[in-house]
Chain A
Amino acid sequence: MALIDWLGDLVPRLHRAFIEGSRWKLYLQGLGTTLEMTVIALIFGVLLGLIVAVVRTAHDQQRPGRRNPLLGFFNALCNLYTTVIRGTPMMVQLLIWSFVIFKTSRNKVLVGIIGLGINSGAYVAEIIRGGLMSVDAGQSEAGRSLGLNYFDTMRFIVIPQAFKNILPSLGNEFITLFKDTSLVQAIGAAELTYYAFTIGGRTFDYMPPLIGIALMYLVVVIIFTWLQSKLERRLRQSDRR
């Protein structure tokens, strides 16, 4: 009997959470912001990660006895960055961005993107570095032996080949980042979790909105994983070309 009561109750609860006052629009808006934050933060993170990875591999691949002091300095800076970012909780970083560094900013979505992007960059740097190292050393030797400089060799020969090895890990990073956007709720950026939380507060009923957004996150991740595996299959085919 209790179950039937609960089920009978569910319809008005769902109605309140999703239909009343066109609340579904808020979820869509939140989901839009979440995706937007994920994509921009990932682009930001990939650019940052690429720079860090190239600096670090360039530093490691210098010929002995010819160390460039400027590169040494940037390498130290990159090391500090990855150590600090990977060694502190994402939540704490977001709170610091929002309440310490950009405490006067009211654009919390932007602050969230900066926090997520800088966090992601540290992980992407390691992903890219691994990808660059996975390319056979003979490839860059061949490039350099032809008289191409370091950056042309990276740009035309090593990075395009590393890309295939990087792609799966980068997909996982996208998924992680997408889910981590929910933390930005804590600094008041209006994304999906934020709306669910607000609606839950307003209707005094947290279950429908929270389960609802959990499903939304899940569906997006499933779709993305499917797209990713399709793309990887494509790239593998081009190997057999």
Chain B
Amino acid sequence: MIDVKNLSKSFGDHQVLSGIDQHISPGEKVVIIGPSGSGKSTFLRCLNLLETPTGGTITFQGQEITGPKVEIDKIRQQMGMVFQHFNLFPNMTIRKNITLAPVRTGLMKQAEADEAAIALLRRVGLEEKADAYPNQLSGGQKQRVAIVRALAMRPKVMLFDEPTSALDPEMVGEVLEVMKDLAREGMTMVVVTHEMGFAREVGSRVLFMDGGVIVEENEPAELFGHPKSERLQSFLAKVL
């Protein structure tokens, strides 16, 4: 589904990613962990070209998206993204937040999108917030809406960039529940997170990144149970 070859990214002289190779298959839940500044968010943001890689290639469903003649908007319509700071549009109601993209990109008519929005909101228990504005919601509610907004585009893969890092502790659970539901339904997911419990429970594969490279990757039980590299051992010792 997503094929990353020799991906590198630098900001000026600062090399953030160096030579990453990854293959993400349909239905996989890839969880990326690692210390701050390890390049995990940058890697995720390269996948939908919010960051432009400085080297290497990314192929999505057989199409090289790092190539010159790519309609990036069409690609992004199939890749949902959830941000650390939610990034809901404060000038629109929740309903409008969710329906804007499906309607403008021609995926749905307004009435159809409204219906889809309500159905999605019902799934995350926020049906009655459809006409509220983002500022009236709690952090956890905002993030659930942000997930729903991305889902409204019926994406093939969902990218999560530290979705619970900006939340109050008691709101982390409700967001993780939604993500677990999504995982159970078979959505392909790439998740950057500090939630080791989530990584262990949901991940089909966990990547440990440090210094712009993938230091170690494995099934969660193996990676958390028998870390091989010293770097991962010391990281886990600190966070677990």
The chain A residues found within 8 Å of chain B, CB to CB, are: 63-66, 136, 138-139, 141-149, 152, 156-157, 160-161, 239-241
Q: How far is the CA of A153 from the CA of B63 in the complex (A)?
A: 25
Q: How far is the CA of A138 from the CA of B41 in the complex (A)?
A: 14
List 29 contacting pairs A-B, 8 Å CB cutoff, sorted by A: A63-B52, A64-B52, A138-B87, A139-B89, A141-B50, A141-B87, A142-B89, A144-B50, A144-B73, A145-B76, A145-B79, A145-B150, A146-B77, A146-B81, A146-B100, A146-B101, A146-B149, A146-B150, A147-B74, A147-B77, A147-B105, A148-B105, A156-B104, A160-B91, A161-B90, A161-B91, A239-B90, A240-B135, A241-B135
Q: How far is the CA of A146 from the CA of B101 in the complex (A)?
A: 6
Note all chain B residues with C-beta closer than 8 A to A156.
89, 92, 100, 104
Q: Which residues of B (47-87) have their CB < 8 Å from a CB of A?
A: 48-50, 52, 73-81, 83, 85, 87
Known pairs A142-B83, A145-B48, A148-B100; A157 contacts B89 (CB<8 A): yes
Contact A148–B101 (Cβ < 8 Å)? yes
Total CB contacts across the A-B interface at under 8 A: 75
Q: How far is the CA of A41 from the CA of B76 in the complex (A)?
A: 41
- Band of interface residues on B: 20 to 34
* Chain A interface helix/strand/loop/mixed: helix
What is the distance, in angstroms, from A240's C-beta to the closest C-beta of chain B?
A: 7
Note all chain A residues with C-beta closer than 8 A to B76.
144-147
Note all chain A residues with C-beta closer than 8 A to B100.
146, 148, 156
Partner of B133, one of A65, A139, A144, A241: A241
Q: How far is the CA of A240 from the CA of B80 in the complex (A)?
A: 29
User: Is B223 in the interface zone, CB < 8 Å from A?
Assistant: no
Note all chain A residues with C-beta closer than 8 A to B136.
241
Note all chain B residues with C-beta closer than 8 A to A149.
73
What is the distance, in angstroms, from B15's C-beta to the closest C-beta of chain A?
A: 16
Contact A148–B104 (Cβ < 8 Å)? yes
What is the distance, in angstroms, from A115's C-beta to the closest C-beta of chain B?
A: 35
Known pairs A146-B149, A241-B133; A141 contacts B101 (CB<8 A): no
What is the distance, in angstroms, from B63's C-beta to the closest C-beta of chain A?
A: 15
Q: How far is the CA of A186 from the CA of B88 in the complex (A)?
A: 52
Residue of B nearest to A160 (CB): B91
Note all chain B residues with C-beta closer than 8 A to A157.
89, 91
Known pairs A141-B83, A239-B135; A147 contacts B91 (CB<8 A): no
What is the distance, in angstroms, from B99's C-beta to the closest C-beta of chain A?
A: 11
Q: How far is the CA of A132 from the CA of B89 in the complex (A)?
A: 15
Contact A147–B83 (Cβ < 8 Å)? no
Note all chain A residues with C-beta closer than 8 A to B74.
147
Residue of B nearest to A137 (CB): B87
Note all chain A residues with C-beta closer than 8 A to B52.
63-66
